[in-house]
Structure 1
């Protein structure tokens, strides 16, 4: 009965792996690279990310937006990022077409360019460059990968306890077939726990059911923020003035943020997010406005976070390994490399068995 059960699990593991192996390989490699996105940008893009430090105040969001509108007429702002922690960091304004970096002291354009290779890497990781279709394929491939990790653990566990120690080591002096088999089994075992965390935190972004599970286990409901009844502005200011007023009002009322970002969301919402110093769960205050007139709709403050909100605030840093600093990133990168190797070593195992099977028939 035990052998038959394992045979069924082995067949499920095999065919699911053959069906999704290429997707898992692509998502793993791109994830491994993007873990160090901040470090790569800091090392290769200093000329666009920073200007010489000066004893001058921030020029203001309104001046930056007016300059953007002159430089890129007709382009709609998708995101604005201000690094409050480093006064000489350029301010990033992104549209669908390009990203623009402005001097925070005088508002002049420092650099403009299309989305770079790191942006493409992230897009491959999330959508396979196939839009909504790619998102669908990617998220369900990760669901299948979770099933494969669990089934792989079942297959790894030896029938006899005395063989457990043997199953924890790679026999480097063995044949290529043996070494490849051990690389698949042993490395897969060691990385399985970390890969389950990375996979589940990735699925948190994709499925409301995963968020509901977090709510269930924490005994709390994920909050969208407190609704705020505020009067509509009598006079609707131009975009630059409107954004600047929101920025100044919110940063003065909630000071100390490391970074501030505007992003335009689906449905006409403008999200203003401030991130503060934190150790584990991200301390962030998020405000939602009507993008057309600047009316405050709702606010979500980190001081009001419940259990489910804390899970959400921790999720990204846990997914990328940032939660544990450089060490966490290195572990996440190593686990992702092992994840990318599993479809390759698994395919070799299957090809070897197929070749052996054909020899028997002949």
Structure 2
């Protein structure tokens, strides 16, 4: 009966020593195992995210073909640049009806024009052109671009999208739970000088284990709010139900408008070739936005008879929340309704629409300009470090328990004979 009594005493002592409620035990268990399960994915998504934050600034410094000397003359028409781009992309087969270009983007007076198409071997490819002269500056295969590769890791872990996207989305949702459970674990039972120092300060002069613990515990608290913002804005793309739910909350119960692409009226006879209509529309919108010199304007080349001409307009460099999507009948140039929350001017959009449109710029910190991007960079970097420091804490405790484990010794009964064979 003595061993049983010792077991009861040990269990009772353990309960008193731990002093944790069932809620805390479940919370701590979830924090540990959810972190172990999703840790490597969180590291990849966080590190690729903090690299991508400064994509615009880095490519501006390393890709000079994006820029041209400003000139006091009008840009070439879309049809003129299209002819040059078709020949560049497809050579002698430029007039083959199967070879198509998606559209053209004009930037400010110092930016190159961009024409996009699908290359049969390399995939999505962009041709950079001098908008004043038509000179071909660069052909860039997007799948070979460094930041495109980084982005594919961020979105899909470099897996097929049908597999990688759900894995990333669920891992980010798990990360939100980990952040909340981490706050519960971080919260001190008593607020005194010792607990405040342990919760808010890193003891850099302590041993490595303590510094690692502080990096996880203290930095995890400081980054909590930013990490939640980054994670929740990421979930807007991860789950349709999350995007619709957050929109209903911000709109007071209204549903998110469906993204619709209108169709051109094919019963009306075209009075001019479609490309000429793109030229006419370009001249029209250029006059409309002439007082906004930094604006970028994209025009889509319609393919099928029912396809509209798409105009994508962004008045600012570096952010996207003010962008507008407009559609025009390819035959009559009549403006058509479409584009969901982006099918209207930002100034006239509802509060819920504005918040939804800000989602990307909030996610990358661009909503606050360069300071916001710096914050997003460090927040993402710290988020990527948390699974690593957390794993080391768990591994250190596991090794410590193994060292402290006592190997039980089998007692030999007093009256039992022990033969020499048993000793050997």
TM-score (norm 2): 0.76
Q: Distance in 2 between matches of 1:269 and 1:34?
A: 33
How far apart, in 2, do the equivalents of 1:312 and 1:78 lie? 27
Aligned length: 358
In the alignment, which of 110, 117, 121 is matched to residue 146 of structure 2?
Answer: 117
Match of 1:166 among 198, 208, 221: 198
The alpha-carbon distance between structure 1 residues 229 and 105, as it changes in their structure 2 partners (threshold 3 A), is closer
Q: Give the superposition deviation at 1:229.
A: 8.9
Question: Once the two structures are superposed, what CA deviation does each residue of 1:213-271 show, in whole Å capped at 9, x if it has no partner?
Answer: 23323324433589979744522865643433443334444554511124699x97764
Q: Structure 1 residues 186 and 8 mapped into 2: Cα distance closer, same or farther (>3 Å)? A: same
**Could you tell me which residue of structure 2 aligns to residue 5 of structure 1?**
23
Q: Contact 2:172–2:235 at 8 Å: present in 1 too?
A: yes
The 1-side partners of 2:356 and 2:232 are apart by 12
Report if aligned partners of 2:53, 2:376 keep a CA contact under 8 Å in 1: yes
Q: 1:255 to 1:225 in 2, by over 3 A?
A: farther
Distance across 1 between alignment mates of 2:399 and 2:291: 64
Q: Does 1:82 align with 2:113?
A: no
Is there any run of 5+ residues in structure 1 with no aligned partner, and where?
none
CA distance in 2, matches of 1:34, 1:247: 32
Residue equivalent to 2:54? 36
Equivalent position SS for 2:337: strand
CA contact (8 A) 1:80 1:92 kept: yes
Q: Is 1:298 aligned to 2:337, yes or no?
A: yes
- C-alpha separation between the residues in 2 aligned to 1:292 and 1:114? 33
Mapped partners of 2:396, 2:378: distance in 1 = 27
What does 1:236-275 align with in structure 2 at a 5 Å threshold?
240-253=275-288, 255-257=290-292, 258-262=295-299, 271-275=310-314
SS at match of 1:161: coil
Q: Which residue of 2 aligns with 1:177?
A: 209
Pick from 89, 93, 107 the counterpart of residue 72 of structure 1.
89
Whether 1:216 aligns to 2:253 is: no
Equivalences for 1:87-106 in 2 at 5 Å? 87-96=109-118, 97=123, 98-106=125-133
For CA contacts below 8 A with separation 6 or more, give which structure has more relative contact order.
1
C-alpha distance in structure 2 between counterparts of 1:129 and 1:239, whole Å: 38
1:349 to partner: Cα distance: 1.0
* Change over 3 Å in CA distance of 1:304–1:53 after alignment to 2: closer
Q: Give the counterpart of 2:223 among 183, 191, 202.
A: 191
- Quick check: which has more Rg, 1 or 2? 2
Report if aligned partners of 2:265, 2:331 keep a CA contact under 8 Å in 1: no
Q: Does the C-alpha gap of structure 1 residues 311 and 32 become closer, same or farther in structure 2, counting only changes over 3 Å?
A: same
- Cα deviation, residue 278, structure 1: 9.5
What does residue 20 of structure 1 align with?
38
Contact preservation (8 Å) 2:327, 2:335: yes
* Secondary structure at 1:164 match in 2: helix
- Seen in structure 2, the aligned counterparts of structure 1 residues 33 and 279 have a Cα distance that, compared at 3 Å, is closer
Structure 1 window deviating more from structure 2 (130-139 vs 189-198): it is 130-139
- Cα distance, 1:289 vs. partner? 5.5
Aligned equivalent of 2:366: 322
**Deviation of residue 281 (structure 1)?**
8.4
- Rounded to whole Å, the distance in 2 between the matches of 1:188 and 1:290 is 53
Bigger mean CA offset, 222-231 vs 21-30: 222-231
Q: CA deviation at 1:64?
A: 1.5
| Alpha-carbon distance in structure 2 between the residues aligned to 1:10 and 1:200 | 22
Distance 1:103 1:223 in 2: 38
Moved more, 315-324 or 159-168: 159-168
Do the aligned partners of 1:61 and 1:244 also contact (CA within 8 Å) in 2?
Answer: yes
The answer to whether the 8 A contact 1:63-1:240 is kept is no
The alpha carbon displacement at 1:42 in A equals: 1.0
Q: CA deviation at 1:354?
A: 1.7
Of stretches 327-336 and 301-310 in structure 1, the one that deviates more from structure 2 is 301-310
In structure 2, how many angstroms separate the alpha carbons of the residues matched to 1:256 and 1:270?
Answer: 23
Q: Which TM-score applies when normalising by structure 1?
A: 0.88
The equivalent residue for 2:162 is: 132
Task: State which drifts further: 91-100 or 241-250.
Answer: 241-250
Write the deviation string for residues 140-196 of structure 1: whole angstroms up to 9, x where unpaired: 111111111111111111111222343111111222111111100100100010010
Structure 1, 245-254 or 124-133: larger mean CA deviation: 245-254
Counterparts of 1:253 and 1:2, CA distance in 2: 66
Do the aligned partners of residues 184 and 226 (structure 1) sit closer, same or farther apart at CA in structure 2, a change above 3 Å counting? Answer: closer
